[in-house]
Structure 1
Amino acid sequence: MNIAPEPLPGMPGQRLARGVARALRDMGFVTVEELVPTPGLRVDLMALGPKGQVWVIECKSCRADYQADRKWQGYLPWCDRFFWAVDADFPTGLLPEETGLILADAYGAEIMRMGPDTPLAPARRKAVLQGFARHAALRLQALRDPAGVISAWA
Protein backbone atom coordinates (compact mmCIF):
# COMPACT_ATOMS: atom_id res chain seq x y z
CA MET A 1 0.00 0.00 0.00
CA ASN A 2 1.29 3.44 -0.95
CA ILE A 3 0.68 6.14 1.67
CA ALA A 4 1.04 9.74 0.56
CA PRO A 5 3.41 11.86 2.64
CA GLU A 6 1.74 13.90 5.34
CA PRO A 7 1.26 17.54 4.26
CA LEU A 8 3.02 20.11 6.41
CA PRO A 9 1.69 23.56 7.30
CA GLY A 10 3.33 26.21 5.16
CA MET A 11 4.62 28.63 7.78
CA PRO A 12 7.30 27.72 10.35
CA GLY A 13 5.18 28.97 13.27
CA GLN A 14 2.27 26.82 12.12
CA ARG A 15 4.56 23.80 12.02
CA LEU A 16 5.62 24.47 15.61
CA ALA A 17 1.97 24.91 16.65
CA ARG A 18 1.07 21.56 15.09
CA GLY A 19 3.87 19.75 16.94
CA VAL A 20 2.93 21.41 20.23
CA ALA A 21 -0.75 20.57 19.73
CA ARG A 22 0.14 16.91 19.13
CA ALA A 23 2.28 16.73 22.25
CA LEU A 24 -0.33 18.46 24.40
CA ARG A 25 -3.06 16.15 23.07
CA ASP A 26 -0.98 13.25 24.37
CA MET A 27 -1.09 14.98 27.78
CA GLY A 28 -4.90 15.28 27.67
CA PHE A 29 -5.06 18.89 26.44
CA VAL A 30 -7.10 20.23 23.54
CA THR A 31 -5.96 23.24 21.56
CA VAL A 32 -7.10 25.94 19.19
CA GLU A 33 -4.83 28.10 17.05
CA GLU A 34 -5.00 31.85 16.61
CA LEU A 35 -7.51 32.57 19.35
CA VAL A 36 -8.36 36.20 20.17
CA PRO A 37 -8.88 36.48 23.95
CA THR A 38 -9.54 40.21 23.72
CA PRO A 39 -9.41 42.74 20.87
CA GLY A 40 -5.83 43.49 19.87
CA LEU A 41 -4.38 40.16 21.03
CA ARG A 42 -4.15 36.89 19.11
CA VAL A 43 -2.42 33.93 20.71
CA ASP A 44 -0.76 31.35 18.51
CA LEU A 45 -2.09 28.41 20.50
CA MET A 46 -4.40 28.17 23.50
CA ALA A 47 -4.63 24.86 25.32
CA LEU A 48 -7.31 23.59 27.69
CA GLY A 49 -6.16 20.87 30.07
CA PRO A 50 -8.02 17.92 31.55
CA LYS A 51 -8.42 19.75 34.88
CA GLY A 52 -9.46 23.04 33.27
CA GLN A 53 -5.96 24.50 32.98
CA VAL A 54 -5.58 27.27 30.40
CA TRP A 55 -2.18 27.57 28.74
CA VAL A 56 -1.05 30.04 26.09
CA ILE A 57 1.77 29.05 23.78
CA GLU A 58 3.52 31.54 21.51
CA CYS A 59 5.40 29.93 18.62
CA LYS A 60 8.56 31.70 17.52
CA SER A 61 10.39 30.52 14.43
CA CYS A 62 13.48 32.75 14.68
CA ARG A 63 15.18 35.52 16.63
CA ALA A 64 13.57 38.27 14.52
CA ASP A 65 10.10 36.78 15.08
CA TYR A 66 10.66 36.88 18.85
CA GLN A 67 12.16 40.37 18.87
CA ALA A 68 9.23 41.73 16.86
CA ASP A 69 6.72 40.42 19.44
CA ARG A 70 5.73 43.37 21.60
CA LYS A 71 2.46 41.93 22.90
CA TRP A 72 3.38 38.70 24.67
CA GLN A 73 3.08 40.12 28.19
CA GLY A 74 -0.51 41.06 27.36
CA TYR A 75 -1.27 37.33 27.06
CA LEU A 76 -0.35 36.59 30.69
CA PRO A 77 -3.70 37.73 32.19
CA TRP A 78 -5.48 35.26 29.85
CA CYS A 79 -3.86 32.01 30.99
CA ASP A 80 -2.73 29.94 33.96
CA ARG A 81 0.65 29.26 32.31
CA PHE A 82 2.54 30.86 29.43
CA PHE A 83 5.04 29.10 27.15
CA TRP A 84 7.27 29.86 24.22
CA ALA A 85 7.50 27.14 21.59
CA VAL A 86 10.67 27.17 19.51
CA ASP A 87 12.70 24.74 17.43
CA ALA A 88 16.03 23.22 18.44
CA ASP A 89 18.00 25.92 16.56
CA PHE A 90 16.38 28.85 18.37
CA PRO A 91 18.66 30.80 20.76
CA THR A 92 16.66 30.01 23.92
CA GLY A 93 18.83 32.34 26.01
CA LEU A 94 16.76 35.21 24.57
CA LEU A 95 13.58 33.96 26.23
CA PRO A 96 12.66 35.21 29.71
CA GLU A 97 13.50 32.59 32.36
CA GLU A 98 10.19 33.27 34.15
CA THR A 99 8.25 31.82 31.21
CA GLY A 100 7.70 28.27 30.04
CA LEU A 101 9.72 26.73 27.24
CA ILE A 102 8.71 24.05 24.75
CA LEU A 103 11.03 22.63 22.10
CA ALA A 104 9.03 21.57 19.07
CA ASP A 105 8.98 20.64 15.43
CA ALA A 106 6.09 19.80 13.11
CA TYR A 107 5.70 16.31 14.57
CA GLY A 108 5.94 16.74 18.32
CA ALA A 109 7.23 18.74 21.25
CA GLU A 110 8.70 18.50 24.71
CA ILE A 111 8.21 20.82 27.66
CA MET A 112 11.65 21.89 28.79
CA ARG A 113 10.59 24.39 31.45
CA MET A 114 7.18 24.96 33.05
CA GLY A 115 5.98 28.53 33.25
CA PRO A 116 4.79 29.70 36.66
CA ASP A 117 1.26 28.72 37.65
CA THR A 118 -0.78 31.92 37.94
CA PRO A 119 -4.42 30.80 38.22
CA LEU A 120 -7.03 32.88 36.44
CA ALA A 121 -9.67 34.66 38.49
CA PRO A 122 -13.02 32.83 38.26
CA ALA A 123 -14.75 35.49 36.12
CA ARG A 124 -11.79 35.65 33.72
CA ARG A 125 -11.64 31.83 33.54
CA LYS A 126 -15.32 31.71 32.62
CA ALA A 127 -14.81 34.29 29.86
CA VAL A 128 -11.74 32.47 28.52
CA LEU A 129 -13.47 29.08 28.51
CA GLN A 130 -16.53 30.49 26.76
CA GLY A 131 -14.32 32.16 24.15
CA PHE A 132 -12.37 28.93 23.67
CA ALA A 133 -15.59 26.93 23.21
CA ARG A 134 -17.10 29.41 20.75
CA HIS A 135 -13.88 29.59 18.75
CA ALA A 136 -13.59 25.80 18.55
CA ALA A 137 -17.26 25.41 17.63
CA LEU A 138 -17.05 28.03 14.88
CA ARG A 139 -13.97 26.32 13.46
CA LEU A 140 -15.81 23.00 13.38
CA GLN A 141 -18.88 24.57 11.79
CA ALA A 142 -16.69 26.21 9.16
CA LEU A 143 -15.36 22.81 8.13
CA ARG A 144 -18.87 21.48 7.59
CA ASP A 145 -20.49 24.62 6.17
CA PRO A 146 -17.94 27.30 5.18
CA ALA A 147 -20.48 29.66 3.62
CA GLY A 148 -22.80 29.48 6.62
CA VAL A 149 -20.15 30.48 9.14
CA ILE A 150 -18.76 33.58 7.42
CA SER A 151 -21.31 35.87 9.05
CA ALA A 152 -20.65 34.39 12.50
CA TRP A 153 -17.01 35.57 12.43
CA ALA A 154 -18.03 39.21 11.95
Structure 2
Amino acid sequence: MEAVLTLVTISRPETTLSVTRGAGRLMLDLGYAPVAEVGLPNGRRADLMCLGPRGEIAIVEVKSSAEDYLTDRKWGEYLPYCDRFFFAVAPHFPRDLLPEEPGLIVADGFGGAVLREAPHTPLVGARRKALTIAFGRLAAMRSAMF
Protein backbone atom coordinates (compact mmCIF):
# COMPACT_ATOMS: atom_id res chain seq x y z
CA MET A 1 0.00 0.00 0.00
CA GLU A 2 1.41 3.38 -1.04
CA ALA A 3 1.22 6.34 1.35
CA VAL A 4 -0.45 9.44 0.01
CA LEU A 5 0.59 12.86 1.23
CA THR A 6 -2.21 15.40 1.33
CA LEU A 7 -1.30 19.06 1.45
CA VAL A 8 -3.83 21.18 3.27
CA THR A 9 -3.85 24.89 2.55
CA ILE A 10 -5.73 27.39 4.64
CA SER A 11 -7.09 30.74 3.59
CA ARG A 12 -5.68 34.08 4.69
CA PRO A 13 -8.55 34.71 7.16
CA GLU A 14 -8.00 31.24 8.65
CA THR A 15 -4.27 31.95 8.97
CA THR A 16 -5.02 35.28 10.66
CA LEU A 17 -7.38 33.63 13.13
CA SER A 18 -4.90 30.85 13.88
CA VAL A 19 -1.95 33.19 14.42
CA THR A 20 -4.07 35.56 16.52
CA ARG A 21 -5.28 32.69 18.71
CA GLY A 22 -1.76 31.31 19.19
CA ALA A 23 -0.27 34.74 19.92
CA GLY A 24 -3.05 35.44 22.42
CA ARG A 25 -2.39 32.13 24.17
CA LEU A 26 1.32 32.93 24.28
CA MET A 27 0.67 36.35 25.78
CA LEU A 28 -1.53 34.73 28.44
CA ASP A 29 1.32 32.32 29.23
CA LEU A 30 3.64 35.32 29.56
CA GLY A 31 1.32 36.94 32.12
CA TYR A 32 -0.44 39.43 29.83
CA ALA A 33 -4.20 39.90 29.49
CA PRO A 34 -4.89 40.11 25.74
CA VAL A 35 -7.90 41.71 24.06
CA ALA A 36 -8.44 41.37 20.31
CA GLU A 37 -9.43 44.10 17.87
CA VAL A 38 -8.77 47.19 20.00
CA GLY A 39 -9.37 50.62 18.50
CA LEU A 40 -6.62 53.16 19.20
CA PRO A 41 -6.98 56.94 19.61
CA ASN A 42 -5.39 57.52 16.19
CA GLY A 43 -8.08 55.47 14.43
CA ARG A 44 -5.95 52.36 13.96
CA ARG A 45 -6.99 48.96 15.27
CA ALA A 46 -4.58 46.69 17.14
CA ASP A 47 -4.99 42.98 16.42
CA LEU A 48 -4.08 42.27 20.05
CA MET A 49 -3.54 44.74 22.85
CA CYS A 50 -2.17 43.12 25.99
CA LEU A 51 -1.95 44.46 29.53
CA GLY A 52 0.90 43.09 31.61
CA PRO A 53 0.97 42.43 35.35
CA ARG A 54 2.82 45.70 36.03
CA GLY A 55 0.66 47.81 33.75
CA GLU A 56 2.84 47.53 30.66
CA ILE A 57 1.05 47.54 27.32
CA ALA A 58 2.06 45.36 24.38
CA ILE A 59 0.55 45.46 20.91
CA VAL A 60 0.73 42.44 18.62
CA GLU A 61 0.20 42.99 14.89
CA VAL A 62 -0.70 39.78 13.07
CA LYS A 63 0.53 39.30 9.52
CA SER A 64 -1.00 36.38 7.65
CA SER A 65 1.15 36.49 4.52
CA ALA A 66 3.93 38.35 2.76
CA GLU A 67 1.30 40.20 0.74
CA ASP A 68 -0.47 41.26 3.95
CA TYR A 69 2.76 42.73 5.31
CA LEU A 70 3.88 44.37 2.06
CA THR A 71 0.54 46.12 1.46
CA ASP A 72 0.07 47.29 5.04
CA ARG A 73 2.91 49.53 6.25
CA LYS A 74 1.12 51.25 9.13
CA TRP A 75 2.87 49.40 11.96
CA GLY A 76 4.80 52.50 13.03
CA GLU A 77 1.50 54.15 13.94
CA TYR A 78 1.01 51.64 16.78
CA LEU A 79 4.27 52.50 18.56
CA PRO A 80 3.01 55.60 20.43
CA TYR A 81 0.37 53.41 22.14
CA CYS A 82 2.45 50.62 23.63
CA ASP A 83 5.55 49.83 25.65
CA ARG A 84 6.35 46.84 23.44
CA PHE A 85 5.40 46.04 19.85
CA PHE A 86 5.45 42.59 18.24
CA PHE A 87 4.69 41.13 14.86
CA ALA A 88 3.05 37.70 15.00
CA VAL A 89 3.34 35.43 11.99
CA ALA A 90 2.72 31.80 11.05
CA PRO A 91 5.64 29.36 11.00
CA HIS A 92 5.83 29.42 7.18
CA PHE A 93 5.94 33.26 6.95
CA PRO A 94 9.08 34.62 5.19
CA ARG A 95 10.53 36.34 8.28
CA ASP A 96 13.32 38.07 6.36
CA LEU A 97 10.67 40.54 5.08
CA LEU A 98 10.04 41.92 8.56
CA PRO A 99 12.07 44.77 10.07
CA GLU A 100 14.47 43.83 12.86
CA GLU A 101 13.37 46.48 15.38
CA PRO A 102 10.03 45.07 16.61
CA GLY A 103 9.59 41.88 18.57
CA LEU A 104 8.72 38.71 16.68
CA ILE A 105 6.27 35.97 17.62
CA VAL A 106 5.74 32.82 15.58
CA ALA A 107 2.37 31.24 16.32
CA ASP A 108 -0.22 28.76 15.18
CA GLY A 109 -3.64 27.92 16.58
CA PHE A 110 -2.20 26.16 19.61
CA GLY A 111 0.37 28.62 20.91
CA GLY A 112 3.48 30.51 19.97
CA ALA A 113 7.02 31.48 20.82
CA VAL A 114 8.84 34.79 21.07
CA LEU A 115 11.72 34.59 18.61
CA ARG A 116 12.80 38.18 19.19
CA GLU A 117 11.95 40.21 22.27
CA ALA A 118 10.37 43.60 21.64
CA PRO A 119 12.35 46.63 22.74
CA HIS A 120 10.90 48.36 25.79
CA THR A 121 9.95 51.98 25.10
CA PRO A 122 7.97 53.20 28.13
CA LEU A 123 4.82 55.20 27.57
CA VAL A 124 4.38 58.63 29.12
CA GLY A 125 2.35 58.38 32.34
CA ALA A 126 -0.72 60.29 31.17
CA ARG A 127 -1.01 58.24 27.98
CA ARG A 128 -0.53 54.98 29.91
CA LYS A 129 -3.32 55.96 32.31
CA ALA A 130 -5.72 56.86 29.50
CA LEU A 131 -4.97 53.66 27.57
CA THR A 132 -5.24 51.48 30.66
CA ILE A 133 -8.64 52.94 31.56
CA ALA A 134 -9.89 52.53 27.98
CA PHE A 135 -8.52 48.95 27.87
CA GLY A 136 -10.23 48.03 31.15
CA ARG A 137 -13.55 49.52 30.07
CA LEU A 138 -13.42 47.72 26.72
CA ALA A 139 -12.61 44.37 28.34
CA ALA A 140 -15.39 44.84 30.91
CA MET A 141 -17.96 45.85 28.30
CA ARG A 142 -17.10 42.84 26.13
CA SER A 143 -17.52 40.48 29.05
CA ALA A 144 -20.79 42.05 30.32
CA MET A 145 -23.59 39.49 30.48
CA PHE A 146 -26.63 41.78 30.72
Query: TM class, shorter-chain normalised?
Result: 0.7 to 0.9
**Number of positions where the alignment pairs a residue of Structure 1 with one of Structure 2:** 134
Structure 1 position 99 matched with structure 2 position 102? yes
Q: Following TM superposition, by how much is the alpha carbon of 1:65 offset from its aligned partner in structure 2, in angstroms?
A: 0.7
> Given the alignment, which residue of 50, 56, 59 partners 1:56?
59
CA RMSD between the two structures: 1.2
TM-score by length of 1: 0.83
> Given the alignment, which residue of 26, 33, 36 partners 2:36?
33
The corresponding residue for 1:65 is 68
Q: Secondary structure at the match of 1:11?
A: helix
Q: Following TM superposition, by how much is the alpha carbon of 1:11 offset from its aligned partner in structure 2, in angstroms?
A: 3.0
- Structure with greater proportional helix content: 1
The corresponding residue for 2:84 is 81
Q: Following TM superposition, by how much is the alpha carbon of 1:88 offset from its aligned partner in structure 2, in angstroms?
A: 0.9
TM-score by length of 2: 0.87
Are the equivalent residues in 1 in contact too, given 2:91–2:107 (CA < 8 A)? Answer: yes
Q: Following TM superposition, by how much is the alpha carbon of 1:27 offset from its aligned partner in structure 2, in angstroms?
A: 1.6
The corresponding residue for 1:17 is 20
Q: Unaligned 5+ residue runs, structure 2?
A: 1-12
Q: Secondary structure at the match of 1:130?
A: helix
Q: Distance in 2 between matches of 1:11 and 1:45?
A: 16
> Given the alignment, which residue of 112, 115, 127 partners 1:112?
115
| Residues 53-84 of structure 1: per-residue CA shift (max 9 Å, x gap) | 10000011100111121321100000001000
Q: Secondary structure at the match of 1:28?
A: coil
Q: Distance in 1 between matches of 2:141 and 2:70?
A: 32
Are the equivalent residues in 2 in contact too, given 1:37–1:131 (CA < 8 A)? Answer: no
